[in-house]
């Protein structure tokens, strides 16, 4: 079913503030990765990262950058949806690490650097709105796509007229250490799908996705051209999700079945630039491409351009797939020079035109067996 649509998108990325500079950067094959200017906490040793530029990013006034990035992304998404505020009855789904403890609950308040690790405070992101309902989801690096799937079910059930998925990521010593200790961080810039790839590059930024029913969007004159036609969100922890080919393929198949779609024009992959993870995902997409009868299915990733934004990484992935469906061009994967050999897939190193594109899959996987795939449909 294609009854739930994406009416607004908002981003803050290492390319700056907004979806448009991000999309231009992707189409140009550019990378915003480089040595950190303000993140210096151990175990950082000078590896390339994706920092939001101070001059282009929304800088907070005394508060945490994480909340500032989330607010800015939500503001852009609402503007794109033709709204100046969240309507009464809307539900906001915040994604990220555990929420901040409240004063008076018996726990010590977090330090400044702990605040950049924990999830954004709803009051800082949304303001004091007693009528505004919000929930918090944390599914590792698949959190944003899980949240879109959850929002879709809420809207279908009539529990809200509109839902917004909001989150952000800021480079911090806790998450950097968690990636470093499992030897995921590359000493050079991430190169998803490249035969010489050597690990991930972490990034930061914010993202927001506004969703509503197609009828609700059309009734108020908003865009209803991009539907979340299928969604599959699965937790299966036998292995690290990004290394389990069978479960990645099963998740994609479930999303395609949910969408009643039997072919794809593009896959925006989770691909972070690790040897094992990218190989497992390529094998899974090959299997799904065979199911669909595809022979030159274009597959790309944004993480060589801006790094891995962890919990909110699904938002730039959705924005990239949306840009492709609306413009008919698959952006290249930044940093990719020597693609892995493939049978039924194409790994573009330059912009690739896809005439009449209507369907795209978005993959998002995380530790703990968190697997999520969406199928987007251009109506």
The predicted-structure confidence for 126-171, as pLDDT tens digits, reads as follows 876 756 899 999 999 999 999 999 999 999 999 999 999 999 999 9
The two beta strands, 359-366 and 267-268, are parallel
Average pLDDT over residues 177-200: 96
Considering 219, 251, 273, which residue would you say is the last residue of a domain? 219
Going by C-alpha positions, the residue among 149, 162, 3 that lies closest to residue 89 is 162
Percent of the chain scored above 70 by pLDDT? 90
Nearest to 67 by CA among 23, 107, 16, 127: 127
Tell me the DSSP string of 76-89.
HHHHHTT-SSPPTT
DSSP of 22-72: HHHHHHTT----B--SS---TT--S--BBPPPTTTS---SSS-HHHHHHHH
Do 17 and 147 lie in one domain? The reply is: yes
Burial (CB count <10 Å: 0-12, 13-18, 19+), residue 183:
exposed
Task: With a cut of 70, say whether residue 239 has pLDDT above it.
Answer: no
In the chain, % of residues over pLDDT 90: 81
So what's the pLDDT on residue 115? Answer: 65
Residues 53, 197, single domain; the answer is yes
Instruction: Decide if 161 contacts 90 (C-beta within 8 A).
Output: yes
Q: Is residue 362 part of a domain?
A: yes
- Mean pLDDT confidence for 185-190: 98
pLDDT score, position 276: 93
Contact 149, 233 (CB under 8 A): yes
Is 106 strand, coil or helix?
coil
Q: Is the pLDDT of residue 102 over 70?
A: no
User: Is position 65 within any domain?
Assistant: yes
**Is 224 inside a domain boundary?**
no
CATH of the domain at 249: 3.40.47.10
Same-domain pairing of 183 and 45: yes
pLDDT grade for 198, boundaries at 50, 70 and 90: very high
State the pLDDT confidence band at 8, using cuts at 50, 70 and 90: very high
What's the CA gap between 356 and 348, in Å, rounded?
18
Burial (CB count within 10 angstroms: exposed 0-12, middle 13-18, buried 19+), residue 206: buried
Residues 14 and 151 in one domain: yes
Residue 189 has a pLDDT of 98
pLDDT reported for residue 112: 63
Work out the pLDDT band at 55, boundaries 50, 70, 90.
confident
Tens digit of pLDDT for each residue in 289-336?
Answer: 999 999 999 999 999 999 999 999 999 999 999 999 999 999 999 999
Let me know: does 96 contact 312? Beta carbons within 8 Å: yes
Predicted TM-score (pTM) of the model is 0.95
Same domain, 160 and 257: no
Q: Establish if 358 belongs to a structural domain.
A: yes
Give the pLDDT confidence of 308-318 residue by residue, as tens digits. Answer: 999 999 999 99
Is residue 9, in this structure, part of any structural domain at all? Answer: yes
Domain count, the chain: 2
What is the domain range of residue 54? 4-219
Nearest to 245 by CA among 293, 273, 197, 278: 278
Residue 107 is assigned to a structural domain of this protein: yes
91-95 and 133-137 strand pairing: parallel
Instruction: Extract the tokens encoding 165.
Output: 């998925």
> What pLDDT is attached to residue 341?
98
Q: State yes or no: pLDDT of 205 exceeds 60.
A: yes
Alpha helices in the chain (DSSP H): 19-27, 65-80, 112-117, 122-126, 143-156, 173-181, 214-219, 245-259, 275-292, 303-306, 314-327
- If asked whether residues 132 and 255 sit together in one domain, one would say no
Q: Among 368, 352, 37, which Cα is nearest to 234's?
A: 368
* In a shared domain, residues 106 and 14: yes
Rounded distance between C-alpha atoms, residue 264 and residue 248, angstroms: 16
Same domain, 149 and 281: no
Buried b (16+ CB within 10 A) or exposed e, 312-351: bbbbbbbbbbbbbbeebbbbbbbbbeebeebebbbbbbeb
**Of the candidate ranges 25-34, 36-45, 99-108, 345-354, the one whose mean pLDDT is the lowest:** 99-108
Same domain flag for 98 and 201: yes
Picking from 219, 248, 265, the residue at the C-terminal end of a domain is 219
Shared domain for 168 and 305, answered yes or no, is: no
- On the question of pLDDT at 117 being above 80, the answer is no
The answer to whether the beta carbons of residues 307 and 201 sit under 8 Å apart is yes
Are 189 and 256 contained in the same domain?
no
Domain-embedded: residue 316: yes
Residue 57: pLDDT band with limits 50, 70, 90: confident
Rama region for 44: left / alpha / beta (φ>0; ψ in -120 to 50; rest): beta
Q: Is the per-residue pLDDT at 104 higher than 70?
A: no
Residues 306 and 351 in one domain: yes
Residue 127 confidence (pLDDT): 75
Domain limit, last residue, from 219, 246, 273: 219
């Amino acid at each position: 079913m294609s009854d739930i649509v994406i009416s607004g998108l908002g981003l803050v990325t290492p390319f700056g503030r907004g979806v448009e500079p991000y999309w231009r950067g992707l189409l140009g094959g550019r990378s915003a990765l480089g040595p950190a200017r303000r993140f210096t906490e151990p175990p950082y040793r000078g590896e390339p990262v994706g920092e939001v530029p101070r001059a282009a990013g929304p800088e907070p006034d005394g508060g945490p950058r994480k909340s500032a990035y989330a607010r800015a992304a939500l503001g852009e998404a609402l503007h794109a949806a033709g709204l100046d505020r969240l309507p009464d009855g809307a539900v906001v789904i915040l994604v990220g690490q555990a929420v901040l403890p409240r004063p008076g609950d018996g726990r010590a308040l977090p330090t400044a650097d702990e605040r950049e690790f924990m999830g954004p405070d709803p009051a800082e992101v949304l303001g004091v709105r007693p009528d505004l309902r919000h929930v918090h989801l944390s599914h590792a690096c698949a959190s944003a796509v899980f949240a879109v799937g959850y929002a879709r079910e809420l809207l279908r059930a009539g529990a809200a007229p509109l839902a917004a998925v909001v989150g952000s990521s800021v480079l911090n010593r806790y998450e950097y250490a968690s990636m470093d200790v499992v030897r995921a961080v590359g000493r050079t810039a991430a190169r998803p799908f490249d035969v010489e790839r050597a690990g991930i590059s972490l990034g930061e930024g914010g993202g927001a996705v506004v969703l509503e029913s197609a009828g609700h969007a059309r009734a108020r004159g908003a865009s209803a051209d991009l539907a979340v036609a299928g969604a599959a969100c699965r937790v299966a922890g036998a292995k690290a999700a990004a290394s389990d080919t069978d479960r990645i393929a099963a998740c994609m198949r479930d999303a395609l079945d949910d969408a009643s779609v039997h072919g794809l024009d593009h896959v925006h992959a989770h691909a972070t630039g690790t040897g094992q993870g990218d190989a497992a995902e390529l094998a899974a997409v090959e299997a799904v491409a065979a199911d669909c009868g595809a022979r030159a299915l274009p597959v790309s990733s944004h993480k060589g351009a801006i790094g891995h934004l962890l919990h909110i990484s699904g938002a730039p992935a959705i924005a990239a797939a949306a840009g492709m469906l609306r413009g008919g061009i698959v952006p290249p994967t930044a940093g990719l020079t020597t693609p892995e050999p493939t049978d039924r897939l194409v790994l573009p190193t330059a912009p690739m035109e896809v005439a009449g594109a209507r369907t795209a899959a978005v993959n998002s996987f995380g530790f703990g067996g968190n697997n999520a795939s969406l199928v987007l449909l251009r109506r």
